[in-house]
Structure 1
Amino acid sequence: MKRRILLQAILAGTLGVHLYAAAALPVVEVYKNPSCGCCTGWVKHLEQNGFTVKVQEVANPSDYRAKFGIPNTLGSCHTAIVQGYAIEGHVPASDIKRLLAEHRKVKGLAVPSMPLGSPGMEGNRSDPYDVLLVKTDGSYSTYHHYNGK
């Protein structure tokens, strides 16, 4: 009898931890062109890193970039929104998690263009690229630099 109670407690505790972990990360809503394969790769990267992703296939993702206040000069092939932050392009999940933990008053993060080696753009080559922190006034600074390989 005691073993059964102990086993139930362990299972309940383990299940509770898993449920908490799944609920801990917010939903990322992604606006992408239906035919874009690298966007699909980025979505998979987010899911593999614990995010739940809701994909909206749209004809013109740049409309959402403008709606969320990301300058067009920082554009990429998809735009996302998570807890009020805009995420433009192939931003690594670790940088999104960091921003969410910091609770900064900014527009969001951007990886302009489509740098080789960024999440969703993996392949034989990995180029250096920056994740940019987009401030409320539209200016930006380097948030994280990736050296490439």
Structure 2
Amino acid sequence: MSRLHASLLLSSALILGSVSAHAALPDEATLYKNPQCGCCDAYARHLEELGVEVTIVDDVELGDIKQQAGVPYGLGSCHTIEMGEYWIEGHVPMEAVQALFEQQPDIDGIGLAGMPIGTPGMPGPQEAPYNVYAFTDQENAPFMTLAP
């Protein structure tokens, strides 16, 4: 195999690898939020930049949505997203969202409690590790930790 062919194969593999990482995300998502929350809109725009069509619903009782999703008490955030077969609670970084859809674990969803600085929709640098949790039926377990 010539060097040119090897380079072309490697380039193609890298391009396809980056496409497949984004291809793991569903095409659509529904984001449930409070009508006054601007950071939730910024998170939706972030998803849209990745090719996900986002429907925003801001006229629903968020507590009911969080209960339906199985979000553990005390680990909620300002918005809840229904995406594919999963729920995403709060400002979860895309690295964790992509890992969720690549791994497809048998859980209800993942979340990041609060509104940490440096996450999508929350401006500023990451100041501490993000402890992303997995949840099912209001019970949580560690999913992944993202270091600053």
Same fold (TM over 0.5): yes
Aligned to 1:74, what secondary structure does the other structure show? coil
Question: Normalising by the residue count of structure 2, what TM-score does the alignment of the two structures yield?
Answer: 0.75
CA distance in 1, matches of 2:131, 2:89: 12
- Which consecutive unaligned segments of at least 5 residues does structure 1 have? 1-17
The amino acid that maps onto 1:147 is A
Contact 1:118 1:126 in 2 (8 A): no
- C-alpha distance after superposition, 1:52-98 (max 9, x if no partner): 11111125322211111111211000001112211110012232222
Alignment of 1:1-149 (within 5 A): 25-123=26-124, 126-134=127-135, 136-148=136-148
**Which stretches of structure 1, 4 residues or longer, exceed 3 Å deviation after superposition?**
21-24, 124-127
The answer (yes or no) to whether the contact 2:112–2:132 under 8 Å persists in 1 is yes
CA contact (8 A) 1:28 1:53 kept: yes
For structure 2, list consecutive stretches of 5 or more residues without a partner in the other structure. 1-18
Query: Identity, % of aligned pairs?
Result: 35
Q: Which moved more, 1:119-128 or 1:67-76?
A: 119-128
- Equivalent pairs, count: 128
Equivalent pair of 1:70/1:138 in contact (CA under 8 Å):
yes
- Structure 1 position 114, deviation (Å): 0.7
Give the superposed CA RMSD.
2.4
Q: Deviation string for 1:6-65 (max 9, x for gaps)?
A: xxxxxxxxxxxx9xx889733111101111011011111111122111111125322211
CA separation of 1:116/1:104 partners in 2, compared to 1, >3 Å: closer, same or farther?
A: same
Task: Tell me the SS of whatever aligns to 1:81.
Answer: strand
SS where residue 114 of structure 2 aligns? coil
Q: Distance in 1 between matches of 2:23 and 2:55?
A: 15
Distance in 1 of aligned mates of 2:124 and 2:93:
16
Q: Which has the higher contact order (CA 8 A, sep 6+)?
A: 2
In our comparison, the structure showing a higher alpha carbon Rg is: 1
Change (3 A) 1:101 1:124: closer
